[in-house]
Chain A
Amino acid sequence: DARVTQTPRHKVTEMGQEVTMRCQPILGHNTVFWYRQTMMQGLELLAYFRNRAPLDDSGMPKDRFSAEMPDATLATLKIQPSEPRDSAVYFCASGFGQANIQYFGAGTRLSVL
C-alpha cells in the first residue's frame, strides 16, 4: 500500500527552537509539495519540488523556513527559529508526471509554545 510518510506525527516545542519535519514521498513520485493547514487559512501551499529541484517556495516565510530534498526519497521542512504562530498541521504530498492528483501524508501537528 503506497503512501506518503511523514515524521514526526506530533511535535511540541518551545519558541525559538529549531523544528525539522520529514517526508518520504511515494516511490516513483517526482513532485513533492509542502502545505500548512491552519484554522484561518485552510490549506496553503508553502513550497514544492519537481525532480528534487525547488520550483516555488513563495508561500514560505523565507527568513525562518527552508525546504530541501536531499534525495528522491526524503523531503525536509525546517523552521528556525520557531514561533507560536507556526503552530499548525503541516502536510506533505507527492505526485507523478503532471501531478494532477496529489497524495497526502497524515501530517505533522506542530505546537510551538
Chain B
Amino acid sequence: DQQVKQNSPSLSVQEGRISILNCDYTNSMFDYFLWYKKYPAEGPTFLISISSIKDKNEDGRFTVFLNKSAKHLSLHIVPSQPGDSAVYFCAARDSNDYKLSFGAGTTVTVRA
C-alpha cells in the first residue's frame, strides 16, 4: 500500500528554468515531509524538509510547498542546473514513529 506517491517518473527541463516535482500522500497522520536526491551508485542524500505546521520552506534554489488539505507537496528548483540531474524521492513520516515512507522517485534531467 503506497502511502506516498510520485506520479511522474521523469521530468526533463532546460537549464535555468524551473523544475517542479510533485508528491501526494494518503496518511493524514504524516506530519513531517522530506525530499531526498540520489545520484547513480550513491545513497539518497537529504535535500530539504518541511513540518506540517508550515506551508513553505526555502533553502537556496530549493523550495518545498505543503498543502495539507490536498495532502500534496511539491519541490521547486529555481534555476535548474545540470548538477540537479538525479532521482528525487519524496518521503513522509508520522512523528509518533521513526519510519519514513518513500515515493517511487522522479528522475530529473536538466538539459543544457
Binding site for B on A (CB under 8 A): 4, 31, 33, 42-45, 48, 50, 55-56, 91, 93, 95, 98-107
What residues on A are CB-neighbors of B99 within 8 Å?
33, 45, 48, 56
Residue contact A48 to B98, C-beta cutoff 8 Å: yes
What residues on B are CB-neighbors of A45 within 8 Å?
99-101
Q: Which of B43, B44, B98, B105 contacts A95 (CB 8 A)?
A: B98
What residues on B are CB-neighbors of A44 within 8 Å?
102
**B104 in the interface (beta carbon within 8 A):** yes
Residue contact A106 to B43, C-beta cutoff 8 Å: yes
Residue contact A106 to B44, C-beta cutoff 8 Å: no
Residue contact A106 to B42, C-beta cutoff 8 Å: yes
Among A42, A50, A98, A103, residue most surrounded by chain B Cβ atoms (within 10 Å): A42
The chain A residue with its CB closest to the CB of B98 is A99
What residues on A are CB-neighbors of B103 within 8 Å?
42
**B34 in the interface (beta carbon within 8 A):** yes
**B45 in the interface (beta carbon within 8 A):** yes
**B80 in the interface (beta carbon within 8 A):** no
Residue contact A100 to B102, C-beta cutoff 8 Å: no
